[in-house]
Structure 1
């Protein structure tokens, strides 16, 4: 029994020594390529500094064509109110509706606002109407733009209705967020004030929503692609044959591939959150301990997936195409850019087999809502799911690696 125990300790000590040498080899290979260290730092910097500004779902700079048949004081006030915001820009004051339609056809404007004849007179008689024609090729821009315009026009109508009531001798009426004022039934006049409070993102800053998702994307691309390309590079150069004929176990070789990218992934996520704080002033409401726990497990997931892909690929082109295919599908089905609940039911079911979904949901819950592993059972379910993915992919990588004796 003692001899077996001593042999086990010797094997463990030798494995530690072998693992140390293999990890050193991986780091030397990584830093020998001058491009990779620059990309490790440069990619998260570009992603955090540039993408939140361009990958923005907020609709701004909507071009309008105004067809004002009334040309009254009231219609001019309405146009001025529309132009006063940051969302709309009047690019054409059309004389006819046909001219405005041509503007939409040429993609020079997004929405037509048609103000009919006798608009001012009809406002006084409580029967005014305005037509909005939105270019719905981009349905998001069309519907949201028309919605913004409707809110502005409704607010304008409420303000003018309140003044009309005041002129008609019904007293002073607050026009702040007033809707559904019925002028034909002045005995039942009332104000409905709507107070909207936005939880977790009070200023509706889309960048705050995107920072966690972009961090996940950077980790996925770096820690998923690089391990796969690393092994393929060794296959093509013939260096891996020296490992294949050595007595090293497959598990030790796979672990030596995982550890360097584990460390690099922690560096990457640290850079992302440091930039988020320095540039945007965003800090995690739930602290960073839970975030790093999830990151450590998630890095194992994507690194294991990259190693599995490399084991079944013989050339760099094969590894690139397969990696792009899987990572593109995983990103699209993760809720990174679009809500999972807005997907069809079959797509929502597919997201349950997507590790990115669990990491993004957890990261947003920690970063935005202030959850942490100490008081949120939902985070533990997500963490267990990621641990399961990590075990499956890394065991698959060990089993699928073909080591020649």
Structure 2
């Protein structure tokens, strides 16, 4: 135990003496957590629309007013030429064209139906799909309003309407940041711990001090613990600052679940992630190699863990990969505990899976360390 305490003292001194390393560990993750959720917002707004109005009726003006007041669309051009509207798309000044035909109001009143033409720039598939969906929904609401007013004007009561009332649980105002901040926080903690742990051990190889440590009476488990524990503590600290300072005071996120349960899973997750960093360090001889290998895994973690896209929408082979990385489970657990208030019975399977990751990664790292030393 005394040898381990000396090693821990040495590691903390090395970390805090490195003036270039400290901002990367403490400042960069906090700044990223403040900025990234503002950019990682998949709610598409400010869609540029070009309206081609051949009718110029009161109904067409009501529809255009409904579009512009929705908050999703910006009217970039209003005219009566589809060719001009198409030029707006070709020049990237418009994303969607709405063409209102002649006799739009007359057909809607006399015949009970009227056609509209929508053309979307599908280079950006997400924006085109969501923009078309928003536009279709607004047109549907406009149609329902017109029909309701017309029925009331005619004094008819035979038309039945279904009133749908929605209730959004756990995020009632559908604030996207509340969904993204916990996931981004997990990704940042993962990067800090795995990157720094792997680089710290490889640095010993480059300096040649690891050979001196190997010939000392220090046991290998003491050396490994001396390398892992400081970054385990740093991971706890970064997560706490991100959740209780940035999450609370910048984004207004207050955890509704059990904090002891959350930190218990965090402690186990950090063991698994640090085991990955240790494993990377055992197969790398230089810090450049360690950074390249770590970057390979981090990119997979970021894109396939369900942070930005739903795992259920991925192909089968991608879902298998997603279920094979520890970040996937921690992102899900953090969102469940922080936003839903889930208990241990809801995440006990996640605990068992993370125990498996921690045992597997650290065992492989220790075995590989023995082999290369």
Q: TM-score, normalised by structure 2?
A: 0.96
Contact 2:60–2:104 at 8 Å: present in 1 too? Answer: yes
1:228 aligned onto 2:198: yes
Correspondence for 1:299: 270
Structure-2 separation of matches of 1:217 and 1:361: 12
- For residues 3 and 372 of structure 2, what CA distance do their matches in structure 1 show? 18
1:77 corresponds to which residue? 62
Pairing 1:6-405 to 2, within 5 Å after superposition? 16-125=1-110, 126-170=112-156, 188-274=158-244, 275-373=246-344, 376=345, 378-402=346-370
> Deviation string for 1:287-321 (max 9, x for gaps)?
31111111111111111101111111111221111
Query: Secondary structure, in 3 states, of the residue corresponding to 2:250?
Result: helix
Q: Is the 8 A contact 2:269 2:330 kept in 1?
A: yes
CA distance, structure 2, for counterparts of residue 66 and residue 235 of structure 1: 65
CA distance in 1, matches of 2:67, 2:372: 72
Q: Which moved more, 1:263-272 or 1:241-250?
A: 241-250
Check whether the contact 2:99–2:118 (CA below 8 A) recurs between aligned residues: yes
What's the CA shift for 1:133?
Answer: 1.0
Distance 1:41 1:372 in 2: 30
Q: Structure 2: which 5+ residue stretches go unaligned?
A: none
Tell me how far 1:205 sits from its aligned partner. Answer: 0.7
For the pair shown, the structure with the greater C-alpha radius of gyration is 1
Q: Describe the superposition over 1:117-138 as per-residue Cα deviations: whole angstroms up to 9, x where unpaired.
A: 1111112121212111111121
Query: Quick one: distance in 2 between partners of 1:130 and 1:401?
Result: 68
Whether the aligned pair in 2 keeps the contact of 1:244 and 1:404 (CA below 8 Å) is no
* 1:219-250 deviation line (CA, Å, top 9, x unaligned): 11000000111112121122222212212222
- Tell me, in whole angstroms, the C-alpha distance in 2 between the residues paired with 1:195 and 1:393: 48
Distance in 2 separating the partners of 1:73 and 1:210: 42
Distance (Å, rounded) in 2 between the aligned partners of 1:143 and 1:156:
20
